[in-house]
Copies of this chain bind each other. A is one copy, B any other.
Amino acid sequence: MRISTRGEYGVRAMFDLAVHYGQGPIALKVIAERQAISEHYLEQLMGNLRKAGLVSSVRGAQGGYQLASAPEKIPVGDIIRTLEGPIAPMDCVEEDASAGCRQFERCATRVLWERLRDSMEQVLDTTTLETLIEEGMRLRAKDDSFMYHI
């Protein structure tokens, strides 16, 4: 039941872009350094996020990445779905649901996995990048050594 580094790094990188939202494109190299993530690896993740329409990129010198929309418009769930696949503890309760389980509506444990999925989605879809920034500020207020990276 772990999120892999794809989701973790993705959220961290997007949070970084959110903190610097409106300041023009930010080079991959900068994000990777600030967040202590392998540059080449992050590149792949950013490629996926771009294809999913969550970030836009500017090529060439002085280029980089920026959020495709404002931080309050980007739920963490969108990032996770892009990099980790559907949010579901089990294949049989994916949203499109087509996959597999022949017992379908009649399975007793299925109800459990549906509830688990719903509670996970509730958290991830109601938390936006803006939410994370606000909460980061609150942490910062309590502790001045607060850091945005890691």
**Hey, which bits of chain A sit against chain B, CB under 8 A?**
1-3, 7-8, 11-12, 15, 76, 80, 84-85, 87-91, 101-103, 105-109, 111-113, 115-116, 119-120, 122-124, 127, 132-133, 135-136, 139, 143, 145-148, 150
Distance in Å: Cβ of A85 to nearest Cβ of chain B: 8
Copies per complex of this chain:
2
Assess whether A12 is in contact with B148, with CB atoms less than 8 Å apart.
Answer: no
Distance in Å: Cβ of A5 to nearest Cβ of chain B: 10
Docked Cα-Cα span, A8 to B139, in Å, equals 38
Docked Cα-Cα span, A61 to B87, in Å, equals 44
Distance in Å: Cβ of A57 to nearest Cβ of chain B: 23
